[in-house]
Amino acid sequence: MIRPLRSLRDRAFPDLLRVEDAYDRDRVWGVATKESGLGWVLPIVAYAPVFPWAYVAVNLRLSLAAMMLVMVPAFMVVSMGAQSLAVFRFRRKLDRSIWGQLRERSVPVCIHCGYDLTGNASGVCPECGRGLGGAGGKP
């Protein structure tokens, strides 16, 4: 993944930073996007807004420079907005998938709310009040 995009992803999903290795972090993200369904939605949402703009630019017979002047900013604004809406829509699924993978990697995290359970011996999450089922029931 491209470095600036990786840092944006890590800021948006800080639980990913609990995975030490950047390669493993990318693998966790890849599995999370596949499990949540975002893996196929994001490219469609990103590129679908281009087609109406391209149709208008071609039918108006704009020069290449005029098309670039109109198309590039419009594409960037529309696709970034659409991607933001897609990530917002799938946020809960992504978070749950990430938390589940963290539990599989023995990182103590609540699979319901993502609370850090380091040092928790009670068997109940202090954030959401649910039991710590799954992964052997241990924090």
pTM of the model: 0.61
134: phi then psi, degrees, rounded to nearest 5: 80, 155
> Vertex 18, ends 121 and 116: CA angle to 5°?
30
The structure tokens listed for 18 are 């609990």
Residue pLDDT, tens place only, 50-80: 677 677 767 777 777 777 777 777 777 777 7
> Could you read off the pLDDT of 30-49 as tens digits, one per residue?
898 888 877 677 667 666 66
Beta bridge partners of 131: 124
Return the higher-pLDDT residue of 86 and 23: 23
How large is the average pLDDT for residues 87-92? 80
Whole-number Å distance between alpha carbons of 60 and 103? 55
